[in-house]
Structure formats: structure tokens, C-alpha cells
Amino acid sequence: MTCLTFAAHVAHLDPMTGSGLLVLPRPADDVADPFAVMGSLHSSGWGNVIAQLDAMGWEPTQGEDGGVCVDGYLADGRQVIGLFGREPITSNPSLDEAADAFGSLCRAVGLVPMPA
């Protein structure tokens, strides 16, 4: 498993299966751009993180609504979204391998179950 820390985002990646999670910063910690050029600190960081992940072969998993797939939240309220690697080392991981990788990622980030 690989952990990449950006300014306010943290990506946990399993290159073997192509599974990944991206921990977003707390919205309460965002800072608006007083010159209205970037929007906010976090929105500017988001674009940079996605561009860097894309260059490495990773992108956000698409949710049912067409947006990003929210996999859950951390105890401090930060949102966690899914990532997938376009070229995993194992081209067709078994269901058990994929489940084990996702479980390891969830434990690594401290993901709490989403409410039903």
C-alpha cells in the first residue's frame, strides 16, 4: 500500500488491485480566496491532487449520481472518496483480493461505517 500526502488531501493506494481512497480535508478548515481567483484553498488543492493522481494513473471512482463515489467518513468528519488505478498490477483480482485490499485501505484511513 502507498500513502501520498498532499497539502490537505491524503491518498491511500493499493497498486496491486487498483483500489484506493482519498481523504478530503475538513470543510471547516477551508479558506476563501480573498481575490476570488482560486475559489478557495481546498478547491485549488483538489484540482492539483486530481491532476497529480491522474498523471500517476489514478482517478476518482464514479458514484451512482455521476459524481465521485463517497465511501464514508472519518471520525473527525472528513469525507473519503474512492479511487481506482487504471493499470493495476493484478489485471483481474479475485473478489477476495479486492475485498482484502479495500478492508486494508479502510483500516489504514480509519474509515467509519456510513449510516444506513
Spatial contact of 61 and 105, defined as CB atoms under 8 Å apart:
no
Is a pLDDT exceeding 70 seen at residue 64? Answer: yes
* Residue 53, CB-side half-sphere exposure with 13 Å CA sphere: 31
The SS3 call for residue 74 is: strand
Spatial contact of 107 and 99, defined as CB atoms under 8 Å apart:
no
In which band, very low, low, confident or very high, does the pLDDT at 15 lie, cut at 50, 70 and 90? very high
What whole-number distance in Å separates Cα of residue 11 and Cα of residue 67? 18
What whole-number distance in Å separates Cα of residue 49 and Cα of residue 11? 9
- Domain locations in the chain? 2-112
pTM, to two decimals:
0.83
In which band, very low, low, confident or very high, does the pLDDT at 44 lie, cut at 50, 70 and 90? low
Q: Mean pLDDT, the chain, as a whole number?
A: 85
